[in-house]
Amino acid sequence: MNLTTPALMIQATGSNAGKSTIIAGLARALVRRGLKVAPFKPQNMSNNAAVAIDGGEIGRAQAVQARAAKLPPSVHMNPVLLKPETDTGAQVIVQGQRWGTLRAKNYLEKKAALLPAVLESFSLLADEADIVLVEGAGSPAEINLRKGDIANMGFAVAANIPVVLAGDIDRGGVIASLAGTHLVLEADERARIHGFIVNKFRGDPSLFDNGLAAITRLTGWPSIGVLPWLPQAAFLPAEDAVDLDRSHVSSSTRIIAVLVLARIANFDDLDPLGMEPGVKLIFVRPGEVVPGNADVVILPGSKSTIGDLAFLRAQGWDIDIKAHVRRGGHVLGLCGGYQMLGRTIADPDGVDGSPGTVDGLGLLDIATLMSADKSTTLVTGTHCATGAAIEGYEIHLGRSEGADCSRPLVMIDGRPDGAASVDGRVQGTYVHGLFTGDAFRKAWLANLGIASSLAYDAQIEAALDALADHCEKHLDIDRLIEIARSRQSNNASAV
C-alpha cells in the first residue's frame, strides 16, 4: 500500500453535510495551485452512478470530483458502490463491476473482505497523484457500524490518513453534532481528527465565533473555517435523492414533469433541463398527480424496473400518463423508464426481482428481456431526428426489441438505440446523460417549441471555479495541505 503520498480524509457528522461538495471545491483549488489531485471514496451508496473511463461504475459525486481535478473518472476513485434495490438490500459494485446483491445484514458481515480491494484502488491512485482527497460516508459517529468499517475511520486507520470533520449548520445542532461525534469515538480515532469545518452557514460567519470556540473547548479540535452557503453548488450534479428538492427558479409555463420513483436512478440526467430558463421542471412525488398542463412526462431511470413499475401504478400515475398522451402530450422514458413504456418486461431468471413477466404501460410496441449481463459503457453518436451530436453512457440490464425500435431515438457507435411511437410523441432510450449535450438538448426542446439558452458545460465549470474560490476564501487551505502531508511523517515514524 502507498504510504508516502499526502492524503486528507473529509468525514462528516451526518449524511448530506456537504462532503462531496467540499472535496470538489478543494480539488479544483489545489489543481489551480499546480497539484495533481486524485479524489477517492472507499464506499459509496447511491443509485446515481457514472461510467468511468475504464468502463465500470462509480458514484456520481466522484465523477464530479474527477472533473474538478481535471482527471478522467476511474473505477478506483470509488472502489465499492452500493446501489439500493430494496429497503434492505443492494447491488454491490467492486472496482466498477457487479460483485453481487446482498441484504444489509449480509453486507455488514462481508464488508471487511472488501478492504484489500479498497486499499489497492487507493494505492493505484496515490502512486500517480501529488495528493489524495478522500471522502467518508455517512458519519463516523455511527459506531454500531464500526466493526469491519471500510468507509470512515476503518479506512482512515488502515491507510493511516488524517481526518478533518465537517458539520452542517444549516440543519441545526452543529455544536452538538461535532461534540457528540467526539464523545462517541475511541481515543485513537479522536486523535486522528486534526480539525473541523462548519458548512452551509447563512448570514454573517463572525456571529458564530463563540460557537467555534465552544466546539474547540469541547473537542480540542481547531476550526479550519466556516463555509457560507453557496448557491452555485446547486448547479453541480447531485448524488442523493434528497437533493431532488433543489430547485432552479423558473417563471416558464412550459412544464416537464418527472416521476419520483421509489428507486429512482441517475436522476442527474434531468439537471440540465432544470437549469434551462425556458423550462419549469417539476418532480411529481408519491401521492401527487401528474400536472394536467405538463408538456412532457419523463419516466427516469430505476434501480428496480419491475418494482418501480408496480410503485408507479400504486400512485395511479399509469392512468395520469395515458390521459396525458390522449391529450397530445409527450412522454420520454430513460433506461428503466424506457422499459416500463413497453408491452412486457420478462425476467425469467429474477435478476430484477422475482422471476416472471409483467405487463408494461403499453405505450411503445417493444418487449424487454432482463438478463444478468450488464452494459456499462460510454457512448457517442447522433440524434436520429436532427443529426445533432450526442454523448452519454449506458448502465442497464436487459434489452428491448419490437416494431417501434425501427424508429430509434439515437444512433450510438453505429447502432440504433431506443424507440418511438408512430406519432413520435412517446420515446425511450437506454442512454443516460443526453441532456448534458447542448446540441441534443436544443434539438429535443425545439421539437416542443422551447428555446434553449443554456451552455451546460460552461455552467458546470463556472460552478466548480466558484466553489474553489469559495474554499480559498473561507478555509485554511494551507493548513489542510499541512495536515495531508503529516501522513508522510506519521508513516515514516511508524516504519
What is the tens place of the pLDDT at every residue in 176-203? Answer: 999 999 999 999 999 999 999 999 999 9
Give the Cβ contact number of residue 190 at 10 Å: 19
C-alpha cell read off for 46: 447511491
Q: What is the pLDDT of residue 70?
A: 98
Overall average pLDDT of the 136-147 stretch: 93
pLDDT band at 374 (very low <50, low <70, confident <90, very high): confident
Percentage, residues of the chain above pLDDT 90: 80
Per-residue pLDDT at 254 exceeds 60: yes
Per-residue pLDDT at 351 exceeds 90: no
Top pLDDT among 251 and 30 is at 30
pLDDT band at 494 (very low <50, low <70, confident <90, very high): very low
Per-residue pLDDT at 373 exceeds 60: yes
Q: What is the pLDDT of residue 495?
A: 39
Per-residue pLDDT at 249 exceeds 80: no
Per-residue pLDDT at 105 exceeds 80: no
Overall average pLDDT of the 137-161 stretch: 95
What is the distance, to the nearest Å, from the Cα of residue 119 to the centroid of all Cα atoms in its chain? Answer: 22
- Summarize pLDDT for 120-137 with one digit per residue, the tens: 999 999 999 999 999 999
Report, as residue numbers or ranges, the catalytic residues. 335, 432
Overall average pLDDT of the 294-303 stretch: 96
Does the model's pTM come out above 0.85? yes
Instruction: Determine the Cα–Cα distance for residues 379 and 413; give it in Å rounded to an integer.
Output: 7
Backbone angles phi and psi of 390, in degrees to 5 = -130, 155
Overall average pLDDT of the 79-104 stretch: 84
Top pLDDT among 38 and 55 is at 38
pLDDT band at 89 (very low <50, low <70, confident <90, very high): confident
3-class secondary structure per residue, 298-350:
EECEECCHHHHHHHHHHCCHHHHHHHHHHCCCEEEEECHHHHHCCCEEEECCC
Q: What is the pLDDT of residue 55?
A: 86
Per-residue pLDDT at 88 exceeds 90: no
Q: What is the pLDDT of residue 237?
A: 85
C-alpha cell read off for 374: 450488464
Q: What is the pLDDT of residue 22?
A: 97
Instruction: Determine the Cα–Cα distance for residues 43 and 45; give it in Å rounded to an integer.
Output: 7
212-221, 227-236, 423-432: the lowest-pLDDT one = 227-236
Top pLDDT among 305 and 494 is at 305
pLDDT band at 246 (very low <50, low <70, confident <90, very high): low
Q: What is the pLDDT of residue 264?
A: 93
Backbone angles phi and psi of 2, in degrees to 5 = -65, 125
Instruction: Determine the Cα–Cα distance for residues 81 and 69; give it in Å rounded to an integer.
Output: 21
Instruction: Determine the Cα–Cα distance for residues 431 and 379; give it in Å rounded to an integer.
Output: 8
Overall average pLDDT of the 325-353 stretch: 95
The interaxial angle of helices 19-32 and 456-474, nearest 10 deg, is: 90
Per-residue pLDDT at 38 exceeds 80: yes
Top pLDDT among 100 and 270 is at 270
Q: What is the pLDDT of residue 390?
A: 96
Top pLDDT among 106 and 16 is at 16
**Residue partners of 141: CB distance under 8 A and separation at least 6:** 13, 14, 177, 180, 181, 184, 185
